[in-house]
């Protein structure tokens, strides 16, 4: 627009010295609606709403813009060294783009706006046209540098590539041994590395008072750091330099490998900063660890104390128990000793009694009339029978018998006492009937006439009593056979009981039972089948077991004498038969022989040969077995007594 | 730290026309651009159709216009927010029937094999939803907000109804702006700030001629420092692109009758077919001198092939041109405006492309400096303006926007007469032109007339408009610079009428001619206090006075 008409003249000559004159007012305005659109309307609305005048609003707006401007004004101070100005634009890869634009103190922090403004400023200053006009040589090298710098920095992708490898920023991790405040050293490090983060905001190191959760979040973030740092900028060769497709591919591959390598190195570097240095040097981590450790130790101690207490209590309890036990043991020992003593006493007393009884018998001249020497075999029989008797008699009985014997004089009376005693034992089943012969009331003593009647009654009584035990005890086999037979020959069948008896006898190999016995037993079985069965079964099992253990208990013996083994087995199965083969006389002979030839005997020939000679109708082997059997009997009896 | 460029908020500008709609966005270069819908159309027909179980809108609905006209709804925009009685149902040409639903205008259509009634608002919502989907498909993200253009003649209830319909369609309505305002904003916003400042305060008066499909809107707008005030607006619902179509349809109906002896003037189906064909014929005529018109099986299985040349069309539509120009001149005259006061005429609407109309318009402004502008697509310029406005206010919150468009802000006094200074040559230099919204402030820099001028004389005058004085004829092909020169000459038409005050600045430093600069400031504040000051920025010498408005 031409300025010609914007010219003011001088006041007319008639003008007085006053500075102004007002003639009349402005014509009244028309109220209209402004269209509420456009940025100028917005400015109007702002003024109107805030009741600001034009100048006030301008002032406020200017202030708002001031911050940005301020930053840019600062940059004027950044001087351009001759070195910088003489840069060769061809070496753009090496140039510091920020320094070229005068932004070296902002670097990656520079905003896009700052870059734009800085570029404009530099262009205005260094444009080739301007230089040419001021008479300089038309050296536009620096201008090219500026353009290149702007090209890189204004493109977000290229700028990132440049920022990734910005040499002006020291990205070497601080020395792990660096002395000083941890936060002062590592704070800037993390701030610097944060620029590569894809994720924002990036948690910062914080200070010593940062909470544990924050610290953990911080390390967690940095462990999983998502970096945009890339190394394209360091590519040694450019794919654009060649037209050959193969070359291009080759270069591309090489560059790619190189980039990957750099990237890996960078990741390792960051890892090292975090893991090897920051984490290990972080006072907070140490603090947390100590706290944790202290807490753990406190807990551990608590636990240990508890264990210790428990242990002590247990020890005390054990000690007490032990003491108690010892006491009990001592008591038990004492008791045992006492018992033993008592037993020994008893034994002694018993021996004394026996001796005195035997003396009595002797004094009575073995119940033979005085002056008439009793035959040796009678004496032997009497003595062996007495031994039998004594075995079965208790101490009291002994004393009783002795006292009776003491009190009486007559040999018949004395004998009567013994007979009575023997018959008592026999009748109570303690003594086998046939073991007592001499002292049986009916034993042949022709001279004995007195108390004949009493004797016969005794015998009768004996007979009656003997009737009962005559009935053989039923063994399990027989019972089961009986049941079988009873089932086989049901009620009503011809000659039922005879056939049952036959059947049982045939199958058990035992002498046949009488009809009465069978009927009685079968009734019993019928009444209490279960109880009997169970009892008998247990008995059977027990027997079998006993036999088995016996065999296994003496394996050496089994090996040594196979025959003996068979015999012993037969003994186990039917001990009664073997037992029966030994008459009391033979028994007495054996006993005497054993006394004559004790195990310590050292005469000529075999000990057992001598014994066998002493016993009528018995071989050496039979004698051995008998002794063994008796020894077992004694042993079993002892065991039964002790339990 | 450089961060990846944040995706710009997707704000769209939306113009719902009576026949066509357009969606505009601001692209990466800061320019407005219309986006195409899924069918590749930038001009999306304002149509909703119900076909069986399908709801169709836009381009797809247009196909239904012929085959399924009973269930196709067109021309519904102007009925929004109106009661049934207010609607002119005769305007509906062979499409879905308008019915009364509790006093509200509604359409009766067959949908899902059932007779369904949809109110105009519901139809509008359906249509805008389809536009939103198109925009989102294009943008690849949800639309954050929309600025809607509306005709100036819309009542408040219509504006509200359209806004509601848009919000129901899932769009956040940032602002509603008048269509001519949007058009002028599109031109203003595309101007660079430097350009703006060089052009002094860019005070202009513009005439916006919006020749839509079936209405003519003439708006005269004053642009003062980038603020727009509508001075006049008129609306003629009978003039528009459709009126030209009618002429052509009549023409071809007669031609067909002449050729085949078949009268299709009562055959609705044939007329719809012909109308669709004629629309294309008319568009072609704007660029070429002859245009064919062919319709297959127009009536009774007979194909129609005809053509028309531009001259014939122009003769035919001469009456319409005259009518349009009458509307313009009447509007100006009624508001005491002269064609000479119009700085530019902006053409909006598809029909404004008709070459003859443009030449007629030039004839009207023959003796003025008026520039006829159609830099932007006349169909799309309104949407562009909306997009610019959306881009401008998208960062503001709803409350801020609501406060800004409140009448307490927009309804302000405007200067009725220009205020200026008489320069050394006794010419009137307008500083604040008439129709400038208040408060206003203008600063002009004046220089000295002679060497060593120690005193500055500043006479402040109020101007008046002298219409009678004709200005020399200007060539239409003049470039912008020469136009600006002539615009100055135009200002000479405004003569000083009343002296308001005089000012004298003394003891100024001695300078050569044109080297001493003095700032003259006229500021009228909110309280209508006018402060005039003259100041030498170097020596800081100043004089200040205050003038009141007359009661």
Q: What global pTM score does this model have?
A: 0.56
Same domain (yes/no): B247, B170? no
Q: At CA A368, angle to CA A362 and CA A369, rounded to 5?
A: 110
**CB–CB of B413 and A23 under 8 A?**
no
- Residue A8: CB atoms within 10 A of its CB come to 27
Same domain (yes/no): B144, B257? no
Q: Is residue B135 part of a domain?
A: yes
The answer for residues whose C-beta is within 8 angstroms of residue B123's C-beta and 6 or more apart is B48, B73, B76, B107
pLDDT of residue B181: 93
Quick one: which H or E segment has residue B421? strand B419-422
pLDDT of residue A501: 81
Q: Which two tokens stand for residue A22?
A: 């007002």
Q: Hey, of B465, B502, B533, B534, which one would you mutate to test binding to chain A, going by the most A CBs within 10 A of its CB?
A: B502
pLDDT of residue B479: 44
CATH number at residue B262: 3.90.640.10
User: B295, B316, B337: which is the final residue of a domain?
Assistant: B316
**A569-582 burial by CB neighbour count: b if 16+ within 10 A, else e?**
eebbeeeeebeeeb
Same domain (yes/no): B281, B427? no
Q: Is B448 on the interface with A (CB under 8 A)?
A: yes
**Residues in A touching B530 (Cβ below 8 Å):** 26
Beta strand B97-101 with B104-111: parallel, antiparallel or unpaired? antiparallel
Same domain (yes/no): B155, B254? no
* Structural contact between residues B135 and B94, judged by C-beta atoms closer than 8 angstroms: no
Rounded average pLDDT over B506-532: 84
pLDDT of residue A444: 40
Same domain (yes/no): B172, B256? no
Q: What domains does chain A contain, in order, with CATH numbers? A: 39-68 (no CATH), 78-164 (1.10.287.110), 182-281 (no CATH), 346-470 (1.10.8.840), 485-553 (no CATH), 561-643 (1.10.10.60)
**CB–CB of A6 and B429 under 8 A?**
yes
**CB–CB of A54 and B551 under 8 A?**
no
Quick one: which H or E segment has residue A427? helix A411-427
Q: What is the pLDDT of residues B121-150, one digit of tens each?
A: 999 999 999 999 999 998 888 898 999 999
Beta strand B419-422 with B456-465: parallel, antiparallel or unpaired? antiparallel
**CB–CB of B412 and A11 under 8 A?**
no
The total number of structural domains in chain B stands at 3
The more confident residue out of B33 and A464 is B33
**Residues in A touching B446 (Cβ below 8 Å):** 6-8
Helices (H), B177-286: 179-189, 193-198, 241-260, 268-285
User: B274, B294, B316: which is the final residue of a domain?
Assistant: B316
- DSSP E strands in A218-306: the ranges are none
pLDDT of residue B125: 94
| Tokens 């100028």 sit on residue | A40
**CB–CB of A19 and B506 under 8 A?**
yes
pLDDT of residue B7: 42
Same domain (yes/no): B160, B41? yes
Three-state secondary-structure class, residue B173? strand
**CB–CB of A36 and B178 under 8 A?**
no
pLDDT of residue A24: 83
Domain containing B502 equals 419-547
**CB–CB of B198 and A28 under 8 A?**
no
Same domain (yes/no): B254, B145? no
pLDDT of residue A577: 45
Same domain (yes/no): B298, B438? no
The span from the CA of A580 to the CA of A584, in Å, is: 10
CATH number at residue B22: 3.30.420.40
CATH number at residue B514: 2.60.34.10
**Residues in B touching A163 (Cβ below 8 Å):** 2
Q: Is B497 on the interface with A (CB under 8 A)?
A: no
- Nearest-neighbour CA in chain B from A288: distance (Å): 34
- Nearest-neighbour CA in chain A from B254: distance (Å): 47
Rounded average pLDDT over B71-94: 80
First to last CA, chain B: 60
**Residues in A touching B442 (Cβ below 8 Å):** none
Q: Is B290 on the interface with A (CB under 8 A)?
A: no
**Distances, alpha carbon A65 to alpha carbons A61, A62, A68, A73, A541, in Å:** 6, 5, 6, 12, 115
Collect the ranges in chain A with pLDDT lower than 70: 1-5, 67-79, 131-139, 176-178, 369-370, 429-472, 527-581, 603-604, 643
Q: What is the pLDDT of residues B94-113, one digit of tens each?
A: 678 888 888 888 888 888 88
User: B316, B348, B376: which is the final residue of a domain?
Assistant: B316
One-character DSSP codes across A31-83: EEEEE--SHHHHHHHHHHHHT--HHHHHHHHHHHHHHHHHHHHHGGG----HH
* Structural contact between residues A618 and A586, judged by C-beta atoms closer than 8 angstroms: yes
pLDDT of residue B18: 87
Same domain (yes/no): B164, B305? no
| Tokens 């309890």 sit on residue | A317
């Amino acid at each position: 627009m031409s300025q010609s008409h914007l010219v003011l003249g001088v006041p007319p000559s008639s003008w007085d010295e006053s500075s102004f004159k007002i003639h009349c007012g402005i014509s009244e305005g028309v109220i209209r609606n402004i269209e509420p659109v456009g940025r100028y309307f917005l400015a109007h609305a702002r003024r109107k709403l805030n009741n600001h005048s034009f100048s006030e609003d301008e002032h406020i707006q200017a202030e708002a813009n001031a911050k940005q401007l301020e930053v840019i004004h600062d940059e004027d101070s950044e001087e351009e060294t001759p070195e910088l100005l003489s840069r060769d634009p061809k070496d753009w890869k090496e140039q510091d783009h920020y320094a070229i634009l005068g932004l070296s103190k902002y670097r990656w922090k520079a905003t896009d706006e700052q870059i734009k403004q800085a570029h404009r400023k530099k262009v205005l200053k260094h444009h080739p046209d301007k230089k040419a006009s001021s008479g300089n040589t038309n050296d536009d090298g620096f201008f090219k540098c500026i353009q290149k710098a702007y090209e890189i920095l204004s493109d977000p992708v290229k700028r990132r590539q440049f920022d990734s490898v910005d040499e002006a920023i020291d990205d070497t991790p601080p020395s792990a041994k660096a002395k000083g405040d941890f936060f002062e050293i590592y704070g800037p490090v993390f701030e610097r590395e944060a620029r590569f983060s894809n994720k924002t905001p990036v948690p910062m190191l914080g200070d010593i008072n940062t909470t544990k959760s924050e610290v953990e979040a911080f390390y967690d973030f940095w462990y999983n750091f998502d970096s945009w740092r890339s190394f394209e900028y360091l590519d040694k060769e450019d794919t654009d330099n060649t037209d050959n497709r193969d070359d291009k591919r080759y270069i591309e591959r090489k560059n790619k490998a190189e980039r990957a390598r750099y990237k890996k190195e960078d990741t390792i570097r960051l890892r090292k900063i975090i893991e090897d240095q920051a984490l290990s040097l972080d006072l907070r981590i140490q603090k947390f660890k100590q706290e944790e450790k202290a807490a753990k130790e406190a807990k551990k101690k608590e636990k240990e104390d508890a264990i210790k207490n428990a242990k002590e209590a247990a020890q005390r309890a054990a000690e007490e128990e032990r003491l108690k036990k010892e006491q009990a043991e001592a008591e038990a020992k004492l008791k045992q000793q006492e018992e033993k003593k008592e037993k020994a006493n008893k034994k002694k007393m018993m021996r004394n009694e026996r001796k005195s009884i035997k003396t009595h018998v002797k004094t009575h001249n073995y119940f033979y009339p005085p002056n008439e020497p009793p035959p040796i075999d009678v004496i032997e029989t009497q003595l062996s029978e007495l031994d039998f008797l004594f075995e079965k008699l208790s101490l009291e009985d002994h004393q009783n018998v002795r006292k009776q014997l003491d009190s009486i004089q007559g040999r018949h009376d004395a004998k009567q006492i013994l007979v009575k005693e023997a018959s008592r034992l026999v009748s109570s089943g303690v003594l086998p009937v046939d073991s007592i012969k001499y002292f049986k009331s009916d034993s042949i003593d022709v001279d004995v006439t007195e108390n004949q009647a009493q004797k016969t009654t005794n015998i009768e009584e004996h007979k009656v009593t003997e009737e009962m035990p005559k009935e053989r005890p039923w063994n399990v086999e027989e019972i089961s056979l009986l049941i079988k037979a009873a089932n086989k020959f049901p009620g009503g069948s011809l000659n039922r009981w005879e056939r049952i008896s036959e059947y049982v006898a045939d199958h058990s190999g035992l002498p046949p039972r009488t009809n009465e016995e069978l009927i009685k037993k079968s009734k019993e079985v019928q009444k209490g089948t279960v109880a009997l069965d169970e009892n008998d079964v247990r008995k059977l099992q027990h027997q079998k077991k006993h036999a088995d253990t016996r065999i296994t208990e003496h394996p050496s013996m089994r090996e040594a004498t196979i025959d003996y083994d068979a015999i012993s087995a037969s003994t186990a199965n039917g001990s009664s038969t073997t037992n029966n083969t030994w008459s009391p006389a033979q028994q007495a002979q054996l006993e005497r022989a054993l006394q004559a030839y004790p195990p310590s005997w050292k005469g000529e020939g075999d000990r057992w040969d001598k014994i066998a000679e002493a016993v009528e109708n018995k071989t050496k082997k039979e004698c051995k077995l008998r002794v063994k059997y008796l020894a077992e009997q004694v042993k079993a009896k002892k065991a039964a007594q002790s339990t | 730290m450089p961060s990846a460029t944040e995706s710009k908020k997707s704000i769209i500008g939306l113009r719902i026309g009576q026949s066509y709609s357009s969606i505009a966005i601001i692209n990466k270069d800061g320019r407005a651009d219309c986006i195409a819908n899924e069918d590749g159309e930038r001009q999306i027909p304002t149509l909703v159709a119900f076909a069986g179980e399908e709801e169709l809108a836009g381009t797809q609905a247009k196909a239904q216009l012929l085959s399924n006209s009973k269930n196709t709804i067109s021309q519904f925009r102007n009925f929004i927010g109106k009661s049934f009685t207010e609607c002119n149902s005769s305007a509906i040409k062979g499409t879905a029937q308008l019915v009364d639903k509790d006093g509200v205008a509604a359409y009766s259509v067959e949908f899902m094999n059932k007779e369904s009634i949809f109110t105009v608002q519901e139809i509008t919502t359906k249509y805008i939803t389809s536009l939103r989907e198109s925009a989102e498909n294009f943008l690849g993200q949800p639309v954050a907000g929309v600025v809607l253009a509306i005709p100036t003649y819309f009542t408040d209830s219509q504006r509200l109804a359209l806004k509601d319909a848009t919000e129901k369609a899932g769009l956040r309505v940032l602002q509603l702006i008048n269509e001519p305002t949007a058009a002028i904003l599109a031109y203003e916003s595309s101007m660079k700030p430097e350009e703006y400042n060089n052009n002094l305060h860019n005070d202009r008066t513009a005439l916006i001629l919006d020749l839509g499909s079936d209405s003519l809107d003439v708006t005269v707008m004053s642009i003062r420092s980038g603020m727009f005030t509508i001075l006049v607006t008129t609306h003629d619902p009978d003039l528009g692109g459709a009126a030209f179509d009618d002429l052509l349809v009549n023409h071809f109906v007669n031609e067909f009758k002449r050729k085949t002896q078949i009268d299709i003037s009562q055959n609705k189906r044939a007329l719809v077919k012909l109308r669709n064909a004629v629309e294309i014929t008319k568009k072609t005529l704007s660029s070429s001198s002859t245009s064919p018109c062919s319709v297959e099986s127009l009536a009774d299985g007979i194909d129609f092939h005809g053509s028309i040349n531009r001259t014939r069309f122009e003769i035919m539509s001469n009456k319409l041109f005259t009518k349009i120009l009458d509307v313009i001149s009447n509007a100006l005259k009624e508001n005491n405006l002269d064609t000479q006061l119009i700085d530019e005429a902006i053409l909006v609407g598809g029909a404004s492309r008709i070459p003859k109309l443009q030449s007629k318009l030039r004839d009207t402004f023959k003796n003025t400096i008026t520039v006829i502008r159609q830099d932007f697509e006349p169909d799309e310029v309104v949407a562009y303006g909306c997009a610019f406005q959306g881009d401008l206010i998208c960062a503001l919150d709803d409350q801020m926007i609501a406060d800004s468009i409140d009448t307490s802000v927009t309804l302000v006094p405007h200067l009725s007469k220009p205020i200026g200074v008489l320069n050394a040559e006794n010419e009137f230099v307008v500083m604040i032109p008439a129709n400038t919204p208040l408060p206003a402030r203008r600063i002009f820099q004046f220089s000295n007339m002679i060497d060593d001028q120690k005193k500055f004389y500043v006479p402040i005058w109020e101007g008046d408009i002298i219409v009678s004085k004709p200005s020399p004829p200007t060539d239409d092909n003049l470039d912008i610079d020469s136009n600006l020169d002539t615009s100055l000459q135009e200002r000479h038409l405004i003569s000083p009428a009343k002296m308001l005050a005089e000012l004298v600045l003394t003891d100024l430093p001695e300078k050569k001619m044109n080297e001493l600069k003095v700032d003259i400031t006229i500021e009228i504040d909110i309280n209508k206090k006018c402060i005039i000051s003259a100041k030498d920025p170097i020596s800081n010498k100043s004089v200040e006075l205050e003038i009141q408005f007359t009661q």
